[in-house]
Amino acid sequence: MRKLLVIGIGAGNPDHMTVQAINGLNCADVLFIPDKGAKKNDLADLRRQIWDRFVTNPKSRRVEFDVPVRAEPAPSYRSTVDDWHEAIAAIYEALIRDEIAKDGCGAFLIWGDPSLYDSALRILERVRLRGNVAFELEVIPGITAIQALAASHKMALNRIGDSVLVTTGRRLTQEGLADNAGSTVVMLDGKCAFNTLADKDVVIHWGAYLGTADEIILSGRIGDVGSEIERVREEARLQKGWIMDTYLLRKPGEPEE
């Protein structure tokens, strides 16, 4: 039976690669590298750098494939994502069928960790349920943007006795900060949702391009740095053509322990 490795490659620095991930790369006959277009070529380039640096298996090869662009949400965000995932599932199925021998091994290289705010595992489950191609699945975890954010700000994610909530910018806008969350990590925020919070004393620890040479980090009260983060973020996005960022929010008045 075909075997698939879903390998977390870290938040943007090839040094984030674990020994387990490197061993997985060298077990695979073929490595699949997604291409999201010229504006996001850096994302594919990182995977190519990982290939050049860590792959020593002479029988291994890489196959690059185009990723379809997600449509704007209409009639709803969830249905738009569902249609997008279905289109990617068709691509994955063809790659598995056509590029991996029936007893071979292939690997998808996933930015960050495959189990945190990434859809590869859900999409592969769609492929499996179609029943057209059978495969065994193994997941190799990677360093997340959340870990890289905390490391860059030289802080722990939690304070003593506090919980940590991981959410999205969309939900932060809709629901605000949860009362029972000591620390709130926000991912997938393209619209600087932190600036919608009424409490401008909330402290934000923000980072973009975490773990890379282009890393940017800022922190402070939202009332003091919120506009600056929004400005810096937009300038960086326009310059590079893409941006990946995340941030942690905390209400003031508690000791940093």
| pLDDT tens sequence across 103-140 | 999 999 999 999 998 999 999 999 999 999 999 999 99
Per-residue confidence at 47, pLDDT binned at 50, 70, 90? Answer: confident
* pLDDT at residue 257, rounded to an integer: 45
pLDDT band, very low/low/confident/very high, at 76 (cuts 50, 70, 90):
low
Q: What is the mean pLDDT of the chain?
A: 91
How many CB atoms within 10 Å of residue 136?
Answer: 10
DSSP string, 24-65: HHHH-SEEEEEE--GGGHHHHHHHHHHHHHH---TT-EEEEE
Q: What is the mean pLDDT of residues 86-100?
A: 95
Which numeric CATH code is attached to 2-143? 3.40.1010.10
How far is 162 from 83, CA to CA, in rounded Å? 38
Query: Is 38's pLDDT higher than 90?
Result: no
Query: For residue 220, is pLDDT > 50?
Result: yes
The C-alpha atoms of residue 51 and residue 22 are separated, in whole angstroms, by 10
Q: Where are the domains of the chain?
A: 2-143, 146-250
Strand partners, 31: 62, 107
Amino acid (one-letter) located at 59: K
The residue type found at 137 is L
Query: Quick check: 246 pLDDT over 70?
Result: yes
Pick the CATH number of 146-250 from 3.30.465.10, 3.30.950.10, 3.40.50.300, 1.10.10.10: 3.30.950.10
> CATH topology of 2-143 equal to that of 146-250?
no
With cut-offs at 50, 70 and 90, classify the pLDDT of residue 179: confident
Beta-strand relationship, 203-208 and 30-35: unpaired
